[in-house]
Structure 1
Amino acid sequence: MKNEIVWMIIGMALVTYIPRMLPFVLFKGKELPPFLQGVLKNVPYATLGALIFPGILLIQKDIWYGLFGASAAFIVSFLGANVIVTVLGSIAVLALYSLLPH
């Protein structure tokens, strides 16, 4: 393996490890303010939304395809179904939608 690739892997490992390690070192034994705790609890949901939303709009040329699938998933999950049922419900709605003449 070339030296450049080895150094690139080491660099990527450091860039990945340092941001994950720093909060543990800097905030060890300290209590974060309640407001900041609330903000940090919502970061995974905001990130997930930012990753999923463009995919909903760009899954096919027909924008309704993604919107119907997302709506079906939202409704099924809002009714309390688990993840598997939510995904299968969305797939079923999109399968029916794809059978319709366009």
Structure 2
Amino acid sequence: MGLSMQSFITEHKRALMLIAVLLIVSPLFGVIGADIVGYHEPLDVAAEVLGLNETGLWSGLLPDYSVPGLPENWAGLSLGYIISGIVGVAIILALGLILRGLVAKG
């Protein structure tokens, strides 16, 4: 039971619009709001208090919701949040569609 991209978009238009709005406003909470209230990740704060340095095996494709090459100002960070959100939603949506196809095949 194949589902074309156009019919998928038509069928789920309201949900996709909501996701788009949430992606666009995400920097209000992740960048601007966190800065206003002085929020920092609890593990980052604990590591700083203990004097620990961050050493990871791999920093990831989009470390700390940022995109390499974008400026470190609020506009660059906000765009990084939006791009990270789009990538995350695309991955989850793709996995969901793959699983849906596998379940439909039985």
- Tell me which protein shows more helix as a share of its residues: 1
For the pair shown, which has the larger CA radius of gyration, 1 or 2?
A: 1
Higher relative contact order (CA 8 A, sep 6+): 2
Q: Same fold (TM over 0.5)?
A: no
